[in-house]
Structure formats: structure tokens, C-alpha cells
Structure 1
Amino acid sequence: MSNIPTTLKYTTDHEWLRHESDGQGVIGITDHAQDSLGDITFVELPEPGASFAAGEAFGVVESVKAASDLYMPVDAEILEVNEQLLETPEAVNTDAYGEGWMVKVRLDGDDKDLLSPEAYGEIVGSE
């Protein structure tokens, strides 16, 4: 069973969003996603300042099994990218909700369309 922290919001594409102070957030992929992908070998992330609409691809993760787009959970502007992942992409596998975060963003939209931890758990439980 995947680890699903109760303090986060989720997408059906297996991204998570953690709200921070001042209308900011942190985004990454879920434990279920990294487990399904296998060993992450490469992460491509956008430049700070780029803006994305909810559902728009903002990056790519590559693993020994596949390449997968990363989708923005909400309308947001990139404030910071996790530079550590460029050197050690396997941090996504070892700590998907901590050291494996992808981007920090300024939230431009709400998260009403995101899933609660319980709803996300039902989705991954049925896969």
C-alpha cells in the first residue's frame, strides 16, 4: 500500500500539493507514482518564473521503465525548482514527499478540483 500523507491534496495523475504560507505551495509526485515508475533516472523541470494552468504539463520524470509528464495540479507560477533532483533524481524514490519535491509555486488558482487523501487512496487502491 502506498504512503498517502493526510496533509496533502492529490491529482488523478498522481501529483501532490502541499500548501505553504502566503499563497505558496510545493508540488511533487506521489509514492504510488514513484513506485509504479521504478528507479527515477532523470527529472526535467521548468525555469522559475514560468506559469502553468491546472492540468498543463510542466516537466518530465524518466525511469528505467518509462518517461512520464508532470501535470500542474492548480494554476501556478514556478518560484523555485528542486535543483538537487538534477544531480540525484533518485531522491524521488527514497523520499517522494520530502527531499523528492519537484517545484515550489505561487498559487494562482484554488484547489477545489483536487482529491482528498481518502479519495486518492480509493483511486490507487483500485489500480
Structure 2
Amino acid sequence: MSHNDFIIYALLTFGSLLFAWPFIWMVGTSIKLEREVLSNRSSILPEAPIPRSRSPYLDDRTFAHADGPHREEAIGILEEQLRSHVWPSQVDPEIARQQVARGIYERLLGLIAYERW
């Protein structure tokens, strides 16, 4: 291999890495959490996951402010409908049922006109 061939291959390798970099970055970013993407630290691979003892998606405060017409009646009906739902073993069914019912109620408040309640 001559000196010119080495230079050509080095430039081709550099060029291919330069053009492949956005795709490598895109794949790495697609498997990161939102907080990792928006942080000031940049890295290709995501951080090691930290196991949680309880779900971050079930929080007593999330839908606590859901207030509207027939609130207690509507949430009671929704909870009764959710009673037959099978929840994962690590989730407390009573808390999950309450939170999901409040979340559905809050969503319905935004979708259904006030006069229809």
C-alpha cells in the first residue's frame, strides 16, 4: 500500500465517520430519557437505569386539582368501572384506580363541554 492510498483511505474513513455521526447521535438520543437529552452533559449512550421501588407515573398530587361538575359522582362511576381491571403486581390497585379515575375525569373535563355535564 502506497502513501497516497493510505491518505485516500484515511480521508474516506474520516468522511464516512463525519457523515455517519448524526445517525449515531440520533440512535443514542432516541434511547435516552428526556432529562438526559435536555441536560448540559452530552454523551452518546444513556446513563445506566436506576430501578424504582414505585412507579413515577402514580403520584397522589398529579390529579388532585381536577375539579368540576359532578366530580365525586363521576369519579365514583369511573372507579367502579376500573374495579375489574387487572393491575401489575407491584402497583397498589386502590391507589391506581383512584389516580386513573381522576386522570380520566380531568381529561373528560377538557373534552366535554361544560353544558353537557
What TM-score comes out, normalization by structure 1 length? 0.20
Q: Which has the higher contact order (CA 8 A, sep 6+)?
A: 1
Return the index of the structure with the highest Cα Rg: 2
